[in-house]
Structure 1
Amino acid sequence: MVVSESQPVIRPDRKTDRAALFDVCVRTGYLGGDARGRHPDDDLLPTIFLAPYLDLEPELAFVADDGAQAVGYVVGTADTEAFVRRLRAEYLPTVADRFPAPPDPPVTETDGLLALLHRPEHMLHPAFAAHPAHLHIDLLPGHQRRGLGRALMAGFLGTLAARGVAGVHLTMVTANTAARAFYDRLGFRELPPADPVVTHLARSTGPLEDH
């Protein structure tokens, strides 16, 4: 699907996209801005929030391609409970040596992220039961506000709806107010549990409308 003649193309992920997608993840990884150098290994964020989805559910990975490379993506799962089981059994063993478990409780910001990787059960909560799918979406700042995020989301939601998945949720850093405004426009609404650091949002997989 082409957004317009001057806009990137929205297409399925390809294996050759991985380096570019990792770059997008890191360059949008701190409140929507650049996280390069924030952690000892720049691959930490994509290892947690991107690669598991590319590996385990590549059919739900969509890319915004500017003609040269990927400049944005949406990834996710149709079934969070099943995804957590597969992440622990299939994905975590492939990265645990490079990214070992942190102290308990975590001490640093990096430790806190490593805890998310090693304890994927944090993604499970009864409040998400009606919205079993979840997603992550990122777009380089220079390509935002052009309708690409909406187009990525439309493709992802449409795929979920075709599978009979009724609802999707996401978790975002509360301080990222620009992202919250984007999700509000797409019809996402806040869910419990309340948390001062992260916000949980959800919506149906129905068509996007202006809000």
Structure 2
Amino acid sequence: MREFRAGDTAEAYAVCLRTGDSGEDASALHTDPDLLGHVYVGAYLALAPSLAFVCVDDTGVAGYVVGASDTRAFEQACERDWWPGLRRRYPPHSFPAHTPDGRVLRLIHEPPEADADVVERYPAHLHINLMPRLQGLGMGRRLLETLFDALRAAGAPAIHLGVSAVNHRAIGFYHRMGFTEVRRHTTSLILARPL
């Protein structure tokens, strides 16, 4: 495990895609292999690289964790410095709205804001993805603990994350890591914990 390096971006995007269907491979669902990475990992690597860590094995990057110590500030930075370029690259009707790519495209053009009451209590947030070959070996725990240390050093008091309501394996892992459910949406849960 190590800090993110600029040369890791393509491999981190690949991990995002290969774990992007509630922990399963989403490659067959997306015609643009970079789209998920642009939404769920790219901005963190570009705008908050000091809060990005990767797991590397013999084949390269096999997992990562990325985060932001201040969710509102990060959302503003994305609106200023990340989304405009992607909006030019992917105009609103680049993909049919009912397809997986179309649903991700909507996140680029209409990025959701984190719930105000959640951000007030748990201002930091994270995304983590780990290839199945490294799951169950303690690497997810190490990634999170490393990020937690970095967030504490940045002054963040608490953290939240979103997870698919059907990703039971991930939900169990987050519970073991001290997260509890603070919000339930139709298809996702918001989990949080103090740092």
Q: What corresponds to 2:76 in structure 1?
A: 85
1:115 aligns with 2:134: no
- What is the alpha-carbon distance in structure 2 between the residues aligned to residue 199 and residue 86 of structure 1? 25
- What is the alpha-carbon distance in structure 2 between the residues aligned to residue 110 and residue 19 of structure 1? 19
1:13 Cα offset (Å): 0.2
Aligned letter for 2:187? V
Secondary structure of 1:200 counterpart = strand
- What is the alpha-carbon distance in structure 2 between the residues aligned to residue 119 and residue 78 of structure 1? 22
Q: What corresponds to 1:201 in structure 2?
A: 191
**Does the Cα contact within 8 Å between 1:87 and 1:120 map onto a contact in 2?**
no
Q: Please give the residue correspondences for 1:43-82 in structure 2 after superposition, counting only pairs within 5 Å.
A: 43-82=34-73
Give structure 2 stretches of 5+ with no counterpart.
Answer: none
The structure in which a higher percent of residues are helix is 2
Residue-by-residue CA offset, 1:10-62 (whole Å, 9 max, x unaligned): 11000111111111111000010100031221111101000010000000000
Q: What corresponds to 1:189 in structure 2?
A: 180
Aligned letter for 1:120? P
1:115 Cα offset (Å): 1.8
Q: What corresponds to 2:121 in structure 1?
A: 130
Give structure 1 stretches of 5+ with no counterpart.
Answer: 1-9, 206-211
- What is the alpha-carbon distance in structure 1 between the residues aligned to residue 21 and residue 171 of structure 2? 14
Secondary structure of 1:73 counterpart = strand
Aligned letter for 2:36? L
Q: What corresponds to 2:86 in structure 1?
A: 95
Q: What corresponds to 2:144 in structure 1?
A: 153
Q: What corresponds to 1:40 in structure 2?
A: 31
Find runs of 4+ consecutive structure 1 residues off by over 4 angstroms.
none
Secondary structure of 1:122 counterpart = coil
**Does the Cα contact within 8 Å between 2:56 and 2:63 map onto a contact in 1?**
yes
- What is the alpha-carbon distance in structure 2 between the residues aligned to residue 107 and residue 30 of structure 1? 16
Query: What is the aligned-residue RMSD (CA, Å)?
Result: 1.6
Q: What corresponds to 1:168 in structure 2?
A: 159
- What is the alpha-carbon distance in structure 2 between the residues aligned to residue 19 and residue 28 of structure 1? 14
Secondary structure of 2:67 counterpart = strand
Q: TM-score, normalised by structure 1?
A: 0.86
1:95 Cα offset (Å): 1.4
The number of equivalent residue pairs is 193
Aligned letter for 1:32? G
1:23 aligns with 2:9: no
Percent identical among aligned pairs is 37
